[in-house]
Structure 1
Amino acid sequence: MIDKVIKGKLRSTTGVFFGSGQSNEYKDSIFFRDSQNNIIIPGSSIAGVLRAYIARISPYITEDSCVQLVEGQKDEFCNCKVCQMFGSINTRPDQESMPSKVWVYHATPITRCKAFLRDGITIDRESESSFRESKAKFNFEVIPKNTIFDLHIELEKGLNKEQEILLCSALSEWEKGRCFLGGLHSRGLGNFVLEDLNIYELDISDSNKLLKVLNRNSVLIRKNEFLQEKLKEGLKIINEKHQIIQKGTYHSFFQFDFNINFDSGVIVNNFKNNVRYSYDFFPITENGEFIIPGSSLRGVLRSHAEKIAKTIVNENCENLEDFLRICPACNPGGVSEKIPLT
């Protein structure tokens, strides 16, 4: 039986991409939709991100680690605390497996949600232009930032104290904006922040309330203090155990927030609008706002990083063969992948 209900709003702070694996004549990658052609975020995707994060922090709280974190054991059966929450993996007939106790529903938009097309292209590292010969241009649907989705999670009765701490830790991270869903993160897509988080407990304290629950007219009691209580308990466990965590279990990361000031005009071209409005160049816009795609910023950073790396390596090389041996940089999308950069 359902014990607790978690509700909140997921607001995108960047564009978002969820590929459906489908394409048509005009779109190479179509955003995920339900049978009614409505844009949604699949519950399985949200649950997968939750599970992956909880699996990495689990050794801090519990005594075991998921086999997914242990090199050479990823194909073995696992029934750790995380697998008991989200369902056993690598199940076998001779092993008792556990179903998921965390039910994550599809997230549906509660604000106007319109998908936009973005173009992607592979850049030739030598000429710093597009690969025309390999036709490495593609497009994909994204939804713009500040789109709000309804989050709904239900918890079955039976989660223990450690599992509740793990789940609350993940939700707390999402409240701080460290939530990444969907694909193409390296292009600056998929960042969310969890807002208006509310945790409810199912009230079945008497027969009348139980009858309402059975008639799908649930009686919910708000338990917002539950999150902070579990976070405090988690910190206490970590401080008391002082356990040595397996190296590489939880990966920290840096986040840089900055403003870009241009000394001159700038444009990131939108080919589709070029044709529509008969311009040679037309800036990319989404929801009426000018944007600079993360892929454009990443491309500039990568190009400069490659130049710096090659310059440093070149100082320690005697000839071309020595350079290519030490710095075998690739040229993605080139005619021959075996030909390195020079």
Structure 2
Amino acid sequence: MNGILKRKLLYVKVRFISPLNVSSGENEWTDSDVLRDYEGNPFVAGSSLAGAMRAYIEKKKTESCLMGFSKPAGRQNISDSGKMSSLFISDLNFDGGLVYGVRDNVALSDAKTALSQSKFDMEILEAGAKGHFYLELVTREEDRATGREEEMEQELARIFQGIQAGEIRIGSKKTRGFGQFKIESIGEKNYTKDNYLEYADAYDEARWENCENVLKEWLDQSGWIPKMVQIEVPLQLKGGISIRQYAARKGEPDFTQLTDHGIPVVPGTSFAGAIRHRIKTILQELKNTGATLPKEYSEIIDIAFGYVDKKRACSSNIIINESEIKNAKQLTMMRTGVSRLESAVKDGALYKEKTYVDGKLSLKARVKKGKCPEDEKWIIGVLLLALKDLQNGFLAVGGQTAIGRGLFSADGPIRIDGKEGLEDTYIAEAIKNMRMNGGGK
């Protein structure tokens, strides 16, 4: 027998600090509607949470961990055929007060023109959404006898630390800023043979109202090592920004700057597109000057930013957050198109636009620590070169860049894992690892 000795039940309250899209696969309102239950309330399936957690602890379905495992077909035997998950994960339900939004997406060419059949929109929950879910950790006789009980709690503690560090996200567009959340509190109750009758009401939400918050105790457990290098670039907006939101309401301007809960933002996709193109240019220029790159520049771009090629795919190793523009001034203006030939106003080209000027923001990027340290050094080195161009006003983001929109200046030093003054070391390391062709110095 391998009976149950204890059920540790955790009530986890969370707050999303970035937009969220967990798609239902339906396209009634947008190309990608938010997942809803039969009453029309949005939720995040427990399977989505479980998948993100298992991926973070880097355990395959055939490897033993607190989330269970199964042996591949043909390799099973009666004594070791697998183990069911010791961790039950409920759906994540929201607490109300949600703000829905629609995001337009389009793929652009290097010339910043839209690619054919590449536009789509998606429904999102805007940042600030609050919710809760339950985790139930089951300890059996074998777990306690083998010391596995403590190991499972350590794995769960690392998951909590990964969530707080922004390394575990859920939903789509995770590498472009979506799906980031933080744990606000954890309530904990243990059920054994001494109080098993109380378990009948364990999932009654009212029972958790005055429960002690044990989040700190879980986070203080040792053994967690960050899996990403964090880069923060403080920026000052020079002039205006134009990342258009087309779902304008009646009486509103024809085009408005993208906002989230009323605050202007620069989405991770806009930063990523501009940075990707600049890195490609930098690598091409390095190659033209005689540098021998460790890989073809197209392969370096694919490793850094991910790719999808028929049946092959790789997620982005660079994660770029959505950035709020704080203390920006709203500016509404009338604009019109002018014929270059006649120097006269084009018919039907008058429109109203709402933008924001000045303001400060912080670009936050993360680079995954992969199994190949050399790739990691290259990714960080070339990324920092592009970020320096952004910081110095040489790289514009968004639309209407030809008239000065989307330019930034430095508003403080770049910080890497919280430390200042390290970017030149990373860049020098990347340059040093290049072998120069004949005559290069």
Q: When the two structures are superposed, what TM-score results if normalisation uses the length of structure 2?
A: 0.56
RMSD: 3.5
Mark the CA change 1:175 to 1:204 in structure 2 (over 3 Å): closer, same or farther: farther
What is aligned with 2:125?
143
Mark the CA change 1:256 to 1:151 in structure 2 (over 3 Å): closer, same or farther: farther
SS at match of 1:261: strand
5+ residue gaps in structure 1? 57-65, 69-76, 236-249, 318-322, 334-342
Mark the CA change 1:135 to 1:215 in structure 2 (over 3 Å): closer, same or farther: closer
1:256 is the counterpart of 2:231: yes
What is aligned with 1:18?
22
Check conservation: 1:7, 1:198, Cα contact below 8 A.
Answer: yes
Letter in 2 for 1:143: L
Q: Distance in 2 between matches of 1:286 and 1:19?
A: 19
Residue 8 of structure 1, aligned match among 2, 7, 12: 12
Mark the CA change 1:328 to 1:181 in structure 2 (over 3 Å): closer, same or farther: closer
Residue 28 of structure 1, aligned match among 26, 31, 48: 31
The residue correspondences of 1:296-311 to structure 2 (distance < 5 A) are 296-311=270-285
Mark the CA change 1:326 to 1:46 in structure 2 (over 3 Å): closer, same or farther: closer
Q: Distance in 2 between matches of 1:305 and 1:292?
A: 19
Mark the CA change 1:264 to 1:227 in structure 2 (over 3 Å): closer, same or farther: same
Letter in 1 for 2:230: Q
Q: Distance in 1 between matches of 2:202 and 2:12?
A: 21
Q: Distance in 2 between matches of 1:7 and 1:261?
A: 40
1:213 is the counterpart of 2:194: no
Mark the CA change 1:215 to 1:183 in structure 2 (over 3 Å): closer, same or farther: closer
Check conservation: 1:14, 1:192, Cα contact below 8 A.
Answer: yes
What is aligned with 1:189?
178
Check conservation: 1:19, 1:32, Cα contact below 8 A.
Answer: yes
Letter in 1 for 2:8: K
Mark the CA change 1:210 to 1:280 in structure 2 (over 3 Å): closer, same or farther: closer
5+ residue gaps in structure 2? 144-148, 309-441
Deviation at 1:137, TM superposition (A): 0.7
Letter in 1 for 2:130: I
Q: Distance in 2 between matches of 1:12 and 1:229?
A: 19
SS at match of 1:157: strand
Deviation at 1:258, TM superposition (A): 3.7
Check conservation: 1:179, 1:193, Cα contact below 8 A.
Answer: no
Letter in 2 for 1:89: S
Deviation at 1:148, TM superposition (A): 1.2
Q: Distance in 1 between matches of 2:227 and 2:203?
A: 43
The residue correspondences of 1:122-201 to structure 2 (distance < 5 A) are 122-125=107-110, 127-131=111-115, 134-158=116-140, 159=143, 160-201=149-190
Q: When the two structures are superposed, what TM-score results if normalisation uses the length of structure 1?
A: 0.71
Q: Distance in 1 between matches of 2:220 and 2:185?
A: 18
Q: Distance in 1 between matches of 2:203 and 2:113?
A: 61
SS at match of 2:236: coil
What is aligned with 2:247?
272
Aligned length: 283
What is aligned with 1:231?
221
Mark the CA change 1:79 to 1:259 in structure 2 (over 3 Å): closer, same or farther: closer
What is aligned with 2:313?
none
Deviation at 1:3, TM superposition (A): 1.0
Q: Distance in 2 between matches of 1:28 and 1:265?
A: 30
Mark the CA change 1:11 to 1:179 in structure 2 (over 3 Å): closer, same or farther: farther
